[in-house]
Structure 1
C-alpha cells in the first residue's frame, strides 16, 4: 500500500484508530444525524456503485449498501483497526455486495472504476494535499457521477468543542487542526472548499450547513471520560500532569451537566454538506 499521509497513517493505525474501532457504537450515536442527509444528497439508487472515502468502521458504507441493494459499495480507509470492525459488521448484516480496501485515498488506485457516487462522512479532512486527493477521488467517478461529503464546520459552532474550550488553552482546540491544515477543521471554510474541489476538477460545487445533535454519553461524567479518551485530548493530558488531568475531567463534567437529558448528554455539531459532480 502506497501512503503519502504518513502522520495520519500512524495516528489511525495506532491509538486513534484503535479508539475509534473500540468506541464505534458511541461515535455512530454521535454522528448518526448526518448519515441520512449525506446519502440523500448523493441520490443513491438501488443499482448504483458507491465509493465511501474514509469509511472508518463502515457505518456509512453499510447504510449506502442498504440503499444500493442491487449495486456495489466500496469503503476505503487508512486505518487497519477500523477496517477490521467494518468487515465484521458488514458480514454480520450479510451485505455481500460491500467490500473494504485499506489505502490512502490521496494515492489509492481509484481511477477508471466508474462509481456512480462517492460519499464521505468526516473522512476527507485529513489529506496532506487535498487538491491531489480530490483529483484522485474524481477519477473514481464516471462522467456525471455525484459526490457528497460531510465536513466539520468551525470549532466554535460545535457544542462539544465549546465545552473543551472552557478548560482553558491547555486543553482547548489543540490537536484538532485548524482551517486549511490537515485535521478535523481543514475544510471548515466554504471558500477554501470551493477552491479545492474546483482545483481538483469538480463542477457544480455547493455547500449547505447542517446541524445534528448526538449522544455523547449516559451522563456528564460518562461523556467527559469519553472526550478525554480521544487522541488529541489524551495528548494534551499527558502534558499537564495527572493531578491537573483529574481536575480537568471534573471541570469538563461540570461544563457538560447542563446538556444532560433523559436520553443522555446531547450536544449539537455543525457541519457542511458539500455536493459536486464530475463533469
Structure 2
C-alpha cells in the first residue's frame, strides 16, 4: 500500500544505476554511522573523539589541520558544487533551481559559520577530513544530478516544493540561531565546555540537529526524488544517534549539574 502511494509523492526512480546505488548506500552508511555514534565510535572531528583520544599518542606522520581550516575543507567543495550547478544546469525547471539553491545556501551558511561563528581549540586529522569532505561533495552532486534526471518524468501528483521551502527556511534559521548560542557559551581563550541554555536548549541538548533535520526534510520535499528521501532518512538516523551520544557525553561530564529532563533531540519525547 505504501509503495503504491509513492508515485503520488515522488518522482519515479531514474534509470541511472549510479543514483539507485547511491540512494541505498547513502541511507545505509548514514544510519550505520548514527548507530556507531551510540556505541562510542565517533567521527573524528567531534569533541567526543577529541576527549576520548586526548591522552593517546599521535602518529608521527599524521597530517593535522587547524580545526578552522579542517572544517572549511569539509564544506567548501560541496558549496562549490552548488555554485557550479547554477551554471551547468542553467535554464532548467524551478524545482531543480530550488534544490540547487537550498543545497548551496546550506553549505554557504556552514562556511560562514566556520569563518565567523564557531570557536576552535584543536586540530583535525587530514585523513579524517578527506572522507567526510568526499561524502558531502558526492552526496550534494548526486542529489542535484538525480533532480536533473527527474525532469524526464511526470511531476508527482502532490507538489511539496513550497512546503519544503518553508521547512528549509525554518530549519536553517533555527540551526544558525542555536549554533550562535553554542558559540557564545565560550569567551575568547576559554576552552572549557559548558551546558548550553537558551532557545530550545532547555528542552533538548541538540536543537541544532533538530533544525538540521528540518532542513533536509525541506530539501526532500522540494526535490521529491527517491535519492533525496533516502539521504534524508539516513541523515535523520545519523543525527538521532549523534544526539544520543551528545546527551550521554553531557551527563558523564557534568553529572548532577545536567538536567536529566532535557531530552536528546525531540522535546519531551526523545
Give TM-score scaled by structure 1 length.
0.27
Q: TM-score, normalised by structure 2?
A: 0.27
Q: Whose relative contact order is higher, 1 or 2, with alpha carbons under 8 Å and at least 6 apart?
A: 2
Higher Cα Rg, which structure = 2
Greater fraction helix: 2
More strand, by proportion: 1
